[in-house]
Amino acid sequence: MRSADVSDGHVQDAAALPVAAAAAVGAAPRAGARLEIQGLRHRFEGLQVLDGLSFEVRPGEIYGLLGPNGCGKSTTLRVLTGLLEPDEGQLLLDGEPVAPGGRRLRQRMGVVFQSPSLDPRLTARENLRLSAALYGLSAAEAKSRIEELLALANLESRADEAIDAFSGGMKRRLELARALLHEPALLLMDEPTTGLDERSFRSAWERIERLRDERGLTVLLTTHRADEAERCDRVAVIDGGRLIAEDSPEVLRRQVSGDILTLEVRDAEALCAELSERFQLAGRVVDGRVVLEREQGHELIPRIVESLPRGRIDSLSMHRPTLSDVFVKLTGRSLGDDAEPASIDEGVDEGASGKGETA
Amino acid sequence: MEQVVAGQRVRPALAEELSTIGVLVRRDLMRFVRERSRVVGALVQPLIFWLVIGSGMSGTFVLPGAGDVDYLEYFYPGVVVMVVLFTAIFTTMSVIEDRHSGFLQAVLVAPGSRFSVVLGKSLGAGTVALSQSALFLALAPLAGFSLSEINWPLLLGALSLACFSLCALGFSVAWWLDSTAGYHVVMSLLLLPMWIVSGAMFPAPDGGVMAWAARLNPMGYAVSAVRRALYQGGLPEGTGLWASSTLVEMGVLVGFSLLALAWSVHICYRLR
């Protein structure tokens, strides 16, 4: 569990460093937005899944929608791709109004789904060929694009194998290649790294960042992982189908000023009250743990530990704020992202199929 | 390496629709060619069915009117349509999984319209069903039909329409129910009885509810047209359908195909 481990917090910080440079792009004078979403509303089974969601994605940036499952981020992608009709809302592509899921939008978008969208019985090359045909690439164009993208996905040597036997990471890379075939103006990615192990996660992100830097690719992605959101140029924090906050990860993190102390106890509510009474500490209970935000957190640790009877606290940890903490601060709820099971499906075969397949 | 620019690919809509249809047909055919074991299985099962039921019934079966048609011979056109039916059910079932975690996702977000998705999938699955039934037709001499004496244009026309309409119908059920279990239930409750009263196993009775069920059943016209083609247009007495002729049969099949397509397209647009 991430938040219960001090060192883990530092790992996240390190991972977030390269973002600083990219954040400057976000702050630059506004070019026209690539995609503008205005007042998106959608009700489903009595639930307001999207509640007036508005945001814009600028050309050449990686824009992340961060929120827990059910916050409406995947619904937003479904609306964009036409898999769902919204009740209300406008879309502008490069300043021109487009229908949600309309043909003009679909022509210029590439989509990487969370679930597979390739035919497992066909080879990598065959899959790409069919996709190229869907977007009307000429035979010569398709041929050169396919070779180029197979190289990008690091799959040249296995291009003529049925993808059934591919590892999770290889399939993901092929999905990305497929989505890029027609050189989309906007790439949508739904939870792009779900189920990938740490190594594949990093290489997947390096690949996306390279596409942004070298070709100016514009990306809109959804994630419920704070560490993934840290790598975006700008992040929209989504909760209850609304935009709660939006900025670069750096600026968002400043919302949480100090260190984050997490105390695992059996009676979190009681301890929270006790801390407030004895130390005037305003903590809160999140997922059965007491969470405190505090400058100079390390000085507080001995005081708390010494003042409480032995055995009262199961564990106490401290880390620098992450977007996870920002989310908690903004919504009072956790992202629910710390138990990402990287082992159930793709994670396992990713590890098992071994070497030479990570870029 | 090219830059990703905001430049727009200008392409006529019709070209996009044709590519979508073409890709779906190609994909179903690629899978068909690759899955040899499935192809053989789909051939052996109706063969056994035909031989076991055919020889079991041949002792007791007497065709009202003319008694000189052997049951194996009578049953054969019905089994050909059964091959079409089973292949159509099996091939369109893939729509369910494909739509949420498969190839169809990518097709749906590509520029082509949903009309082309329905048409392409129905044509693709229909072509697979047609190929499968063509394999079974190679056994026609076993039933006493000489391959050189078959009215092939009529046979292929009738089978193509039967394949297409059943696949279009299957698409709508698959899309609408969105569950494999539900799909099986509906398809077997809907299509198996249709097949049984189609004249595949026994001639349609002359009066009563069953007679009307047979007359309203599009599959009956498919079975009748296939039988007609096998007999070079001259049906043995007592095997035909009420008020039927080549024209009526083909008309019904064309109408049924259009209806099934329209219904499926409607479902696909309505239920996103």
Least CB–CB distance from B26: residue in A116, A130, A136: A130
| Cβ neighbours of residue B175 closer than 8 Å, sequence gap 6 or more | B95, B99, B264, B267, B268, B271
pLDDT per residue of chain B (272 residues) written in tens, 0 to 9 = 333 334 445 577 888 999 999 999 999 999 998 888 888 888 898 999 999 988 888 777 777 665 577 888 889 999 999 999 999 999 999 999 999 889 999 999 999 999 999 999 999 999 999 999 999 999 999 998 999 999 999 999 999 999 999 999 999 999 999 999 999 999 889 999 999 988 888 887 777 888 888 888 999 999 999 999 998 867 776 666 666 788 999 999 999 999 999 999 999 999 87
Distance separating alpha carbons of residues B162 and B254, to the nearest angstrom = 9
CB contact under 8 A, B105 and A184: no
Q: Taking the model in full, what pTM does it have?
A: 0.81
Q: How far apart are CA B99 and CA B16, in angstroms?
A: 20
Stretch among A133-142, A172-181, A283-292, B107-116 having the lowest mean pLDDT: A283-292
- Judge whether B13 is closer than 8 Å to chain A, CB to CB: yes
- Long-range contacts (CB closer than 8 Å, 24 or more residues apart) made by A201-209: A201/A228, A203/A169, A203/A358, A203/A359, A204/A169, A204/A172, A204/A173, A204/A176, A205/A231, A206/A359, A207/A152, A207/A173, A207/A176, A207/A359, A208/A62, A208/A176, A209/A18, A209/A62
Calculate what percentage of chain A has a pLDDT beyond 70: 85
* Cβ contacts of B33 on chain A, cutoff 8 Å: none
Contact partners, residue B20, CB within 8 Å, separation at least 6: A134, B107, B110, B111, B112, B113, B116, B117, B120
Instruction: Classify each residue of A178-188 as buried b or exposed e, where b means 16 or more C-beta atoms within 10 Å of its C-beta.
Output: bbbbbbbbbbb
Chain A contact present for B3, CB below 8 A: yes
Least confident of A104-108, A338-342, B47-51, B172-176: A338-342
Q: Quote the pLDDT of residue B125.
A: 96
Q: What is the pLDDT of residue A349?
A: 34
Structure tokens belonging to residue A274: 């006790």
- Tokens 């500490």 locate to A281
Q: Is residue B90 within 8 angstroms of chain A, CB to CB? A: no
Using the 8-state DSSP alphabet, how is residue A123 labeled? B
Best of A42, A80, A135 to disrupt the B interface (most B CBs within 10 Å) is: A135
E strands, A163-269, are 186-190, 219-223, 234-239, 242-247, 259-264
Domain count, chain B: 1
In angstroms, the CA B162 to CA B224 distance is 12
A19-253 maps to CATH 1.20.140.10: no
User: A248 to chain B, minimum CA–CA distance in Å?
Assistant: 24
Which residues are bridge partners to A286 per DSSP? A289
Q: Which one of A135, A215, A216 has the shortest CB-CB distance to B110? A: A135
How many CB atoms are located within 10 Å of the residue B29 CB? 14
Band of pLDDT at residue A322, cut at 50, 70 and 90: confident
A166 Cβ neighbours under 8 A, 6+ residues apart: A124, A158, A174, A353
| Six token digits for residue A156 | 């040249």
Residue B236 lies in a domain: yes
In a domain, residue B65? The reply is: yes
Q: Whats the size of chain A, residue-wise?
A: 359
- In this prediction, residues A194-200 reach a mean pLDDT of 86
Check if the beta carbon of residue B172 is closer than 8 Å to that of residue B260. Answer: yes
Give B96 to chain A, closest Cα distance, Å.
Answer: 13
Q: Is the pLDDT of residue A333 over 50?
A: yes
Of A107, A108, A115, the CB nearest to B100: A115
State the pLDDT at residue B61.
74
Tokens representing A31 are 């070019």
* Least CB–CB distance from B111: residue in A84, A103, A130: A103
CA distance B75 to A26: 73
Q: Which domain holds residue B68?
A: 14-270
The confidence score (pLDDT) of residue A296 equals 81
* pLDDT category of residue A26 using cuts at 50, 70 and 90: very low
Burial of A147: CB neighbours in 10 Å, binned 0-12, 13-18, 19+: middle
* Alpha carbons B228 and B223: distance in angstroms, whole number: 8
Q: What is the pLDDT of residues A217-259, one digit of tens each?
A: 999 999 999 999 999 999 999 998 999 999 999 999 888 878 8
Question: Cβ of B4 and A133 within 8 Å?
Answer: no
Which of A3-17, A81-95, B89-103, B169-183 bottoms out in mean pLDDT, i.e. has the lowest?
A3-17
Minimal Cα–Cα distance from B93 to chain A, Å? 15
Query: B102 versus A18: which is more confidently predicted?
Result: B102
Burial degree of A67 (CB within 10 A; 0-12, 13-18, 19+): buried
Strands A47-57 and A35-44: antiparallel
CB-based contact, B35 to chain A, within 8 Å: yes
**Which CATH number applies to A259-320: 1.10.3470, 1.20.1060, 3.30.70, 1.10.287?**
3.30.70
Phi, psi for A112 (deg, rounded to 5): -110, 110
Coil, strand or helix at B28: helix
CB contact under 8 A, A178 and B106: yes
pLDDT confidence of residue A247: 94
**Residue % of chain A over a pLDDT of 90:** 49
Closest chain A residue to the Cα of B103, Cα to Cα: A117
What tokens were used for A282? 């305003």
- Return the residue of A nearest to B29 by Cα: A122
Q: What is the DSSP letter of B203?
A: P
SS3 (DSSP) at A355: coil
SS3 B18: helix
Following CA atoms A251, A256, A260, A266 in sequence, which dihedral angle do they give, to the nearest 10 degrees?
-130
Cβ–Cβ under 8 Å, residues B26 and A173: no
Closest Cα in chain A to B27: A130
List chain A domain ranges: 19-253, 259-320
Taking CA atoms, what residue in B is nearest to A93? B6
- Residue-wise pLDDT for A52-63, tens only, equals 999 999 999 999
From chain B, pick out residues whose CB is under 8 angstroms from the CB of A121.
30-31, 34-35
- Least CA distance to B26: which residue of chain A? A130
Closest Cβ–Cβ partner in B101, B102, B111 for A106: B111
Name the residue facing A117 among B23, B106, B113 (closest C-beta).
B106
Name the minimum distance, in Å, from the CA of B128 to any CA of chain A. 16
- d(C-alpha B173, C-alpha B94), whole Å: 12
Q: What is the dihedral of CA A121, B103, B258, B177, to 10 degrees?
A: 100
Burial class (CB in 10 A: 0-12, 13-18, 19+), B36: exposed
pLDDT for position B249:
92
When the pLDDT of each residue in chain A is averaged and rounded to a whole number, the result is: 83
Mutate to test the interface with A, among B5, B109, B116, B270 (most CBs of A within 10 A): B109
A21: three-class secondary structure by DSSP? helix
Q: Which residues of B touch A31 (CB under 8 A)?
A: none
Which candidate in B3, B4, B101 is best for mutational testing of the A interface (most A CBs within 10 A)?
B4
Residue B7 lies in a domain: no
Using CB atoms, pick whichever of A81, A117, A136 lies closest to residue B102: A117
Specify whether the backbone of A29 is left (phi greater than 0), alpha (psi in -120 to 50) or beta: beta
Report the C-alpha gap between A215 and A232 in whole angstroms. 16
- Using DSSP's 3-state secondary structure scheme, residue B110 falls into coil
Measured distance CA(B252)–CA(B262) in Å, rounded:
15
The SS3 of residue A45 is coil
